[in-house]
Amino acid sequence: MPPPEKLFVYEIAGRVNPPPELTAQDFLGCWREGSCSYLFFSTPREAEVKAWLKANPGLGTFLSVTDLNYSDWEAGQALKPTRVAGFYLCPVWEEPQPEPGDITLHLEPGLAFGSGYHPTTRLCLSLLRHVFQEGTPCRVLDLGTGTGVLSLAALALGARQVIAVEYNDLAVHTAARNIRHNARQQDIFQIHGDARDFAYIPAELVLANIHLDVLLDLLNIPEFFNKKWYIFSGILGTQRGRFLAALQSTSLETMSVLDENMWYAILAGKRR
């Protein structure tokens, strides 16, 4: 099913679970970030959300409402098939029309990150292609998997197993759908949790397209440095210098830096 044209987002102070009467067909999901919850709908539901909170004192506090076009959520573009680094990323409601040599991935972006339009996804796919030209990592750890697009791309390039870690509830369900769309249920093991808690998992390649504060925390976990290749992204503008300085103090060395529209992705490996 194509995505809705409009999104109506209600910010609530508190980690809430909406009741059944609010989870009808127009309910798109609940995004929890820190101590706040964000309820997503395809139609206006402000009155109902406020009434629910008023009837349940102490549950949460209504903070704000935002309405926007779905295309604005997805980097300001309508979701259409796109090509990047030899991958043909096709929304599930579109008929695929790949060109010879394209690797087709079927995606239902939902409200998670990783449709292929954001620069960090595109940069990571380019670095992923570079890594697999150097060798074939059999086991991949994807920290902050979002839609699961990088996990699916790694498998398509030859990886045998991916462990995909995601903290956000909405993204976990979105990734699970995309894994099914691409018939990769046997090859991707999903973990619902904080990336930092699973940094120790052995792998030949780690993908970490995630917030800068999490990236910096990962660099302070000794057990994290048991991989051969590392792809880092989610780094914006002046954050690049801060991250590279932190990376320099570890056992890793920078192998490549790509940028697009002030977003950066970095390929690193064990210092020689």
**CATH homologous superfamily for 111-270?**
Vaccinia Virus protein VP39 (3.40.50.150)
Closest CA to 88 of 127, 116, 126, 119: 116
Q: What is the pLDDT of residues 112-124, one digit of tens each?
A: 565 667 899 999 9
Comparing 14 with 109, the larger pLDDT belongs to: 14
Residue with more model confidence, 74 or 271: 271
Q: What is the pLDDT of residue 114?
A: 55
pTM for this structure?
0.83
Q: Rounded to the nearest 5°, which phi and psi values hold at 120?
A: -65, -40
Decide if pLDDT at 110 tops 80: no
β-strand 36-41 against 6-13: which pairing, if any? Answer: antiparallel
Task: Measure the CA–CA gap between 266 and 128, rounded to whole angstroms.
Answer: 11
67: part of which helix (H) or strand (E)? Answer: strand 61-69
pLDDT in tens, 18-38: 899 898 888 888 887 778 888
Q: Whole-angstrom Cα distance, residue 58 to residue 13?
A: 10
| Spans of all domains in the chain | 6-73, 111-270
Confidence band for 72, pLDDT divided at 50, 70 and 90: low
Categorise residue 256: left if φ over 0, alpha if ψ from -120 to 50, beta otherwise.
Answer: beta
CA 195 to chain centre: 12
Q: At what angle do helices 149-157 and 169-181 cross, to 10 degrees?
A: 30
